[in-house]
Amino acid sequence: MKEGVIDVLMYIFSSYADQDENLPEDRDGIDADLRAAGFNSLEIDKAFEWLDGLAEAEDSTGSDQSESATRILAPEESTRLAYNAHGFLLFLEQSGVLTPRLREMVINRVMALESDSEVDIEELKWIVMMVLFNSSEEQDENALMHYEDIVFADQPAVFH
């Protein structure tokens, strides 16, 4: 099976997101599950590094960003995000799904994928949900379910 890190991450997220804990503490069990699903060890290791980086980004991303500031992507970031994915990221921030701090975490995780390929909108949606579900910001389960509906909806979100 020729899969990338994002595919391994999507598998992990879809398999474990509905559990009470974000991820089981037993990495060996997850590793065995991923190997049984056909993922190679190099991609599995990279996915675990990406998840470790997500935890580190949670701790290191500053929270002193203005809510009204406009984020301009660096050339490297702009190259990695498809045009419609960048627009979707902007939409999520303007609609209140992402705070500036969470937006930075998403961009950080996009850049950490260790690939030269462009991240499309579908891959970005998965990254956004992984960041939201692993964020320590106050979010109740109903808010996360609502965000999941917004992120994965084919229709534009309606806010009341």
Q: What is the DSSP letter of 47?
A: H
The pLDDT of residue 159 is 44
38 Rama sector, left if φ>0, alpha if ψ -120 to 50, beta otherwise: left
Query: Model confidence at 140, in pLDDT bands (50, 70, 90)?
Result: low
Query: Model confidence at 157, in pLDDT bands (50, 70, 90)?
Result: very low
The number of folded domains in the chain is 1
The answer to whether position 83 is within a domain reads yes
Question: Would you say residue 158 has pLDDT above 60?
Answer: no
The answer to whether position 158 is within a domain reads no
The pLDDT of residue 135 is 80
The residue that leads in pLDDT, 97 or 139, is 97
The answer to whether position 157 is within a domain reads no
The pLDDT of residue 160 is 41
Query: Model confidence at 77, in pLDDT bands (50, 70, 90)?
Result: very high
Distance in angstroms (rounded) separating the CA atoms of residues 78 and 135: 24
Question: Would you say residue 155 has pLDDT above 60?
Answer: no
Please tell me the pTM assigned to this model. Answer: 0.80
Distance in angstroms (rounded) separating the CA atoms of residues 8 and 39: 7
The answer to whether position 50 is within a domain reads yes
The pLDDT of residue 105 is 92
In degrees, rounded to 5, the angle at the alpha carbon of residue 85 between the alpha carbons of residues 78 and 5 is: 85
Q: What are phi and psi of 119, to 5 degrees?
A: -85, 120
State percent of the chain over pLDDT 70: 75
The pair of structure tokens assigned to 34 is 């991923």
User: For the residues 11-25, what does the mean pLDDT come to?
Assistant: 67
Q: Which domain holds residue 84?
A: 5-152
The pLDDT of residue 56 is 85
The residue that leads in pLDDT, 59 or 117, is 117
